[in-house]
Structure 1
Amino acid sequence: MMLRQIQHFQTVIQENSFTEAAELCHISQSGISRSIQSLEDEIGAKLIIRKNRSFELTEAGEHFYKKSLIITADLEQLCHETVRIARKDAAELRLGVLSTYSGDQFNRAVAAFSEKYPTVDIKVISGNHEDLYEGLVNDRIDISFHDQRRAFHDAYENLVLTETVCYVEIATHSPLAKLDCVSIEELKNIPCILVASKEQQDEEQRFYRDIIGFKGEFLFAESLHEARMMVVTGRGIMPVEGVGGESFFGATIKRLPLLRGEAQITRKYCAFWKKDNSGYYVEEFAGILESMF
């Protein structure tokens, strides 16, 4: 009973209105007033002081409100975990995302999906293009969001989501950081830093050399963090896609638009999943992700 009263109390505070809170909780205004009065009686402290058509929280009420948010969040998490334990066959969705993509659409899609389907266990796997492609082929990933490098395959759903622009990350102390943009031709003597395992280095180098057009030396890092440390220390530049920014990483790294000739280089991003693995949650996530663009 107290949990329902706490939820009524929280809604009144969040809506700053007894009337709107009553509508959201599907009870009468007098009912929500009685609920809060009952909560105060049970606690033994005044939480709200009414003032004509408004109200204000007491010091005790403000403390109780903040602590109650933590308690209800913990309880909600407890319920979700309990359901997952009870259902040993709980639904699972394995998502892949390109580690060098910096837009927030994927993260927002994951948040929206989790809110809509809280009992689905989500696992996110980040990596380079080859990591994600192999994950799809070997059934370690259900649906992946990454760049298109290969021709579309009939065995997969290939949902085109956006055509994103390319940037390079460069140390702010580099002379190149004074530019507003940089062309692929101007980087011919600057090492290109890529994230790739030893097994994937040749494939990544081939793509960025033959398709994107980098002509200089290639350096490799095992993780995105390691690659950015290499950028910060001036060892080279790193190509990325997504969102730009005048000073994307504050005082250490600047992100410059990457041009080929006069135009910024673009890449096509898609959601990929196997047609024979096209379950309800896979298609639902794909729809949510598409709505973010």
Structure 2
Amino acid sequence: MLLKQMKYFIAIVDYGSFTEAAEHCFISQSAISQQIQSLESQLQVQLMVRQKRHFELTEAGQYFYRHAKAVLEEIDQIVAQTQRLGEDHELTLRIGYPKNFNLFELQQAITQFCELYPEVKISIVSGTHEELFELLVDGHIDLKVSEQRRAYNEDYYNYELKYSDSYVEIAMGNPLSQKDILTVEDLKTLSCILVVSKGYEDSEKSFYEKDLAISHQFLYVDSLEQARLMVAGNRGYLPIDVLGEMMTPIQGIKRVPLYKNGKPIQRNYFACWHKQHTNYYIEEFAQMLRTVFQ
């Protein structure tokens, strides 16, 4: 049985006509009819009942159509991935993540992924939410991990990872560190330290003002390490999301849950990638990351 015979059969069913299927497959109607007869002969079963210009699938034909279509779709994916492997001397999966992100789970997922797929090189880049989205749109990263801050774009897959509880890290020397929870009201006299790339300060400030009702002084740093040094020096507090296992902050810092209107602040995190650029490795990594978080 040839793959082309399966394709001809599927085309006939999809178009509902031998004539249209033959035109689509660039062969004559008599030739496509002969191929179907040959297919039925090899299978030793009737796949369709012909009635003048119409036909009906037999139960065997319906079964064969469903499964043959799935097989051909899988073959197309195998061919596409094989071609990509042949074109790329080194496969690279480029991942973007937020600057205030706890890397423990991400690194765990990367380690597991690399053990399963040693042919793929992982590169990671950090940035603000807006910066990561721009990198994704421009094709500089394949997948970004970040919270939802905008309406979904139909051109992208948004693969939910987990709801994240929000915390703040504050100096142990600050009396507020003795509280079991902190509210935005508790923090209104302190500086809010944000990890943000140069040029994206306004968009980050706007998000925290509008969504978290934080509306006082902001301090901006380029890395999580810098932010924590400032926190340890009691220069302000650091908002941080923890998606999985919480690593202990550096000495002199206390991590406290952040509340608003009597409820813990939560944000939804997603893995996001462009539908046109999706491939097996991106989908596998996203699933692996979700499993690690769960």
TM-score range, shorter chain: 0.5 to 0.7
- Partner residue in 2 for 1:273: 273
1:50-61 to structure 2, matched below 5 A, reads none
User: How far did residue 138 of structure 1 move?
Assistant: 1.1
Query: Does structure 2 conserve the Cα–Cα contact (< 8 Å) formed by 1:170 and 1:232?
Result: yes
User: How far did residue 149 of structure 1 move?
Assistant: 0.5
- Partner residue in 2 for 1:288: 288
Q: Which segments of 5 or more consecutive residues in structure 2 lack a partner in the other structure?
A: 1-85
- Relative to 1, partners in 2 of residues 1:199 and 1:247: Cα closer, same or farther, differing over 3 Å? closer
1:204-219 to structure 2, matched below 5 A, reads 204-219=204-219
- Partner residue in 2 for 1:153: 153
Secondary structure (helix, strand or coil) at the match of 1:199 reads coil
User: How far did residue 87 of structure 1 move?
Assistant: 8.7
- Partner residue in 1 for 2:167: 167
Secondary structure (helix, strand or coil) at the match of 1:151 reads coil
1:210-289 to structure 2, matched below 5 A, reads 210-242=210-242, 248-289=248-289
CA distance in 2, matches of 1:118, 1:189: 50
User: How far did residue 131 of structure 1 move?
Assistant: 2.3
CA distance in 2, matches of 1:88, 1:130: 29
Query: Does structure 2 conserve the Cα–Cα contact (< 8 Å) formed by 1:245 and 1:254?
Result: no
User: How far did residue 207 of structure 1 move?
Assistant: 0.2
Cα offsets for 1:169-220 (capped at 9, x unmatched): 1011111111111001211111100011231000000000111111211110
User: How far did residue 276 of structure 1 move?
Assistant: 0.8
CA distance in 2, matches of 1:199, 1:237: 22
- Larger Rg: 1 or 2? 2
Query: Does structure 1 conserve the Cα–Cα contact (< 8 Å) formed by 2:228 and 2:250?
Result: no
State how many pairs are aligned: 208
Query: Does structure 2 conserve the Cα–Cα contact (< 8 Å) formed by 1:187 and 1:216?
Result: no
User: How far did residue 105 of structure 1 move?
Assistant: 2.7
Q: Which segments of 5 or more consecutive residues in structure 1 lack a partner in the other structure?
A: 1-85
Q: CA RMSD in A?
A: 2.1
User: How far did residue 139 of structure 1 move?
Assistant: 0.7
Query: Does structure 2 conserve the Cα–Cα contact (< 8 Å) formed by 1:91 and 1:119?
Result: yes
CA distance in 2, matches of 1:210, 1:195: 18
Counterpart amino acid of 2:208? Y
- Partner residue in 2 for 1:200: 200
After TM superposition, the runs of 4+ consecutive aligned structure 1 residues lying more than 6 A away are 244-247
Percent of counterpart pairs with the same letter? 38
Counterpart amino acid of 1:205? K
User: How far did residue 225 of structure 1 move?
Assistant: 1.4
- Relative to 1, partners in 2 of residues 1:172 and 1:151: Cα closer, same or farther, differing over 3 Å? same
- Relative to 1, partners in 2 of residues 1:245 and 1:161: Cα closer, same or farther, differing over 3 Å? closer
CA distance in 2, matches of 1:95, 1:286: 10
Query: Does structure 1 conserve the Cα–Cα contact (< 8 Å) formed by 2:191 and 2:237?
Result: yes
Of 195-204 and 86-95, the range deviating more from structure 2? 86-95
Query: Does structure 2 conserve the Cα–Cα contact (< 8 Å) formed by 1:246 and 1:255?
Result: no
